[in-house]
Structure formats: structure tokens, C-alpha cells
Amino acid sequence: MKSKIPERNCILIDWFSFTSRNDTVQSMISRLGLSEYVFTLTPGGAGGKYGFRSTYSFSHINIYCDHWKEKDLIMVDMSGQGCRAFDEYSKYTYTYLFGLCLWHPNYNVTRIDLAHDDHEGLLDIRKILKETVKRNYVSKTRKNYKYAHFNGRFEELSVMYGSKSSDIYIRIYDKAAERGYDQIEKKWVRTEIVLKQSRAEEFLRLYLSGSEVVPDPKHPEKVPEIKRNLGELFYGILNNYLRFVVPDPDQKNVSRFQIRKWWKEFIGSIEKIRVYVKKNTDYNLHKLQRYIVDQAGNSIETLLLCVGEGDFWDRILSRESKLKDRQKKLIQEYQLSKQSIVKPLGA
């Protein structure tokens, strides 16, 4: 199924990982603003990663751990899809988590990916591939990796500058082809900057510079004030690590080569773009149904088939957790909407 493509260029957080020595799994779920959702446990060897024994997962947001109740080293790992789930479901923002990782000794950032989506045709992936093969670019690293394969319909092209083992690398690829579109049908080229360890920490330092509010783990609603434009930071990092240039046989210093016009136009467009902001999605019946069916549907069906409908409802109605205010409000609104329906005469 094709994903809906945004209509405008944007910059977004496309991967975020950090560790904590200050949380249990349950407190971390709460800290992520996701306490109302069910995280599924994958224990033992099948669930382990990064040296951890088990994984608790919700919509591509993974918490790796060795213990559920004890405060020990745990890791939160959100892929691109996990970041979109965080955007939609969490009560909080990245800013609070960024502040914890930067200013509190028990939290440590391990990876941040920044992504720029070009839907205006500023970048041509084939042109980038051609210029890369000719080495008509200036980069902090001379290593590059070119990939091309068919996904069944379209050729997916991508280029990576740097090594995946390094603390920073850049990847440019045809996102439209990856999602099953062609360049004629949709234009969508993604530029990713992957930052790890000290590079990721330095990004947080730049992003939160000038902030006067230090996040309190007990008060996630009090977040630092952001005074830096993410587009400006993305522009600075990209411009420092990669430039496509016009070769000049009379100039030995490649850093003085003239920048390609199309790359200059692309770079110039980034600085004005602000970070992708999640839509203000209200808690409604449609969102609730989507979560129950898509996220928890398999678990609910399994329990129903195992214990039966009667026992299932007995367990639901006798559980310790109670309905929250917004859930009670949704029930009231739904009941009122049913009462307001005017029955036809004679019904």
C-alpha cells in the first residue's frame, strides 16, 4: 500500500535512540507520553538487540531492557516509522527528551537521523549518482556507496557518503521509488543525515543552545524553548560535509571549486524550512478504533479465542486501571450523538 506523501518540503526527525539509567520500562513508557498504549513483550533471544535480553514494542517504538521493574540500563530505539508514531500518539515532544539526553547524566543520546524530503524536484537522483561517479563533489570523506535495485516496478537509486560505522554519514535516495511511485507520478527525494554518539550530542547542544529551561524528569510538560531553526542546522551540517561542484582544471584547491547551481538552489531552500510539526490529532473514536484494530487486534483476538467472550469481559471490567478523563469524555460524546439522532415519523 502506498503511503500518503506530504504536499510540501519538510525536515523531520527520522530516527531517535537514547539510553537511560534512571527508569524502569514502565516509567520510560510514561516518560514517552505513551502510558495509554500497550507495549508487546518479545522475551529471550528473539527479543534481544544491542546486547539486551528483551524488547517491549509499540508501533516501531522499541524499549530494550533486561528487567521490567528494576532501574537498570534500558534503551529506546525509534525508527522512522517509530518517530511518526511518536509524533501521532505521544503527549510530549522530542524537545523534552532531547533536553534529558543533553543535561541529565543518566540519559545519553546514541543516534539521531535528520531527513529532508524534496517534493519540488530540486534534486535529481540520477544526476546526483552521475556526479558522484565522476567525483564532482567535495566531502569530508571520499568514501561513497552507490546502490541500484528494482523493487518489482521501479529502479531504486541511492547514494551514501561516509561509512555506516562512522559517527556521521549522509544518504540521498529516491523515496518515491521506494514507496512504489515513479518520478513522473511523484517527485520525492530524501536526504538523510545520520548522527551518532558525540555527533548526535553536539546536534542537541546546537539545537537547544540559548534555552534557559532544563528539563525536569518529573515534569515533562516543562520543555526548553527552542531558539534554533532545524532547517538552519540541517543546512549547516550538510553544507559542511557535502557539496557538488564544477571541476576547474586551473584550480588545484578543490574547496574553491564553484558549487553546482542546482545544489546551491537546494541548499538555499533548506535554511528556511522548520521542523515537521505533528498535527493536533484529537482523541476520537476513529483514532481509538485504529489503535484497537491495527495495534492490539491480534492480541485481543488471541485472548478471546483462548478464554472465551464471557471470561474476556470479566477480565476487562475487573482490571485495576480505570478510564481516564478523555476516555470518559469520548463515551459521553458518543452517547449524546446517538441520542441526538432524530428518528423518522412512525419509527
4-50 pLDDT tens trace: 545 578 889 999 999 999 899 999 999 999 988 889 988 765 566 78
Q: Is residue 2 over pLDDT 50?
A: no
- 151 C-beta neighbours (distance < 10 Å), count: 11
pLDDT at site 1 = 40
Q: How far apart are CA 138 and CA 136, in angstroms?
A: 7
- Residue labelled with grid coordinates 479465542: 305
pLDDT at site 194 = 96
pLDDT at site 148 = 64
pLDDT at site 108 = 95
pLDDT at site 299 = 82
Q: Is 33 helix (H, G, I), strand (E, B) or coil?
A: coil
CA distances for 340 relative to 215, 286, 334, 335, 337, angstroms: 46, 19, 10, 9, 5
pLDDT at site 300 = 86
The percent of residues in the chain predicted with pLDDT above 90, rounded, is: 32
Render pLDDT for 148-184 as a digit per residue (tens, 0 to 9).
665 555 577 889 998 888 899 999 998 888 877 765 6
Cell triple for 260:
553546482
The percent of residues in the chain predicted with pLDDT above 70, rounded, is: 76
By residue count, the chain amounts to: 347
Q: Is 96 helix (H, G, I), strand (E, B) or coil?
A: helix
Q: 286: Cβ–Cβ under 8 A, 6 or more apart, which residues? A: none
pLDDT (mean) for 122-130: 91
pLDDT at site 284 = 64
